[in-house]
Amino acid sequence: MSQTPSDAPTFMLHPRKPKLSLPLGACDAHVHVFGPGKHFPYAPRQGATPADAPKERLFALHDFLGISRCLIVHTAAHGTDNSVTADALAAKGGSYRGVALLRTDVSDAELKRLDAAGFRGARFHYMPHLEQAATIDEAIAFGARLADLGWHLQIHMAPELIAELAPAIHRAPVPVVIDHMGRVDASLGLDQPAFRALLHLLRDRNVCVKVSGADRISRQGPPYADAVPFARKLVAEFGDRCVWGLDWPHPNHRGPIPDDGELADLIAEIAPTEMLRKMLLVDNPQRLYRFAVESAP
């Protein structure tokens, strides 16, 4: 398929310094790396080629924000070739982990290779703009192959699908992490059916959720005040199963490019006590992604 080159970054080159000091060992549990395309070709697809957002940019951002641990979620822009993510993990020597995009017929040898490289999960998309690699039943069945590795499943789904996919998710043999607060529409309020379905799903202690994507679920724009009550409620009720992430470099974003310093400061509203912030940013990621117990450098 033909592609149109794109030079415009989807991330802010100079975000502001956050006011909030993050705890030692804080983890950004949802980012991506894109390219550079000359070293890591993009998968053929319709539309514009993504702008490069390489590992060096990500590392510099984390240093600026005071983040020392990270989960890189492999991007669909690179297909099921997870090399660009593996390269970033190798540069960080264990303080960064990864989530892969895989076909369910991937070999056991490849799974073991990715595990040794620092991958800790596999992501499946159920969003209109992203290719579906497997049905939810196929993804859940694939989870049985991940159990021996200590991996998890990561599910990225449209909000109207939460109730429909929930019965399958309850059968998962490994932990399941739900992306971006279920992609609910903040303008519909806390009592909307999709958010009620997410809360019901989270009664299952095998299910976790990312309180990332405030900028995606907001309908008001910066500073995303309409999205904060959703994240705050999730942390208040399921604090031991929530993780947080910037979603840098904000691919497929609609509206103004988010300021990552502003997103980091939202943590103070999402998790208003030091105990909740340590759980969200340090303890939960350490357990889920199997970081070393010692403090991050």
HEC profile of 7-67: CCCCCCCCCCCCCCCCCCCCEEEEECCECCCCCCCCCCCCEECCCCECHHHHHHHHHHHCC
Cα–Cα distance for residue pair 263/271, rounded to 1 Å: 13
Average pLDDT, the chain: 94
The residue type found at 267 is I
What's residue 1's pLDDT? 34
**Poorest-pLDDT segment among 34-38, 67-71, 135-139, 231-235:** 34-38
Q: Is 247 among the catalytic positions? A: yes
Using 50, 70 and 90 to split pLDDT, how confident is the model at 294?
Answer: low
pLDDT in tens, 18-30: 999 999 999 999 9
Q: Report, in angstroms and rounded to the nearest whole number, the Rg of the chain calculated over CA atoms.
A: 18
What domains sit in the chain, N to C, each tagged with a CATH number? 3-7+23-289 (3.20.20.140)
Cα–Cα distance for residue pair 275/293, rounded to 1 Å: 18
pLDDT in tens, 39-68: 999 988 655 678 899 999 999 999 999 999
Cis preceding linkage at 229, omega within 30: no
The DSSP H or E segment spanning 178 is: strand 176-178
Coil/strand/helix, residue 167 = helix
> Alpha helices of 47-160 — where are they, by DSSP H?
55-65, 83-90, 108-117, 136-147
Average pLDDT value for residue range 246-272: 95
pLDDT in tens, 84-139: 999 999 999 999 999 999 999 999 999 999 999 999 999 999 998 887 889 999 99
Q: What is the pTM of this model?
A: 0.95
Q: Identify the active-site residue in 185, 215, 247, 260.
A: 247
CB 101 within 8 A of CB 153: no
What's residue 2's pLDDT? 36
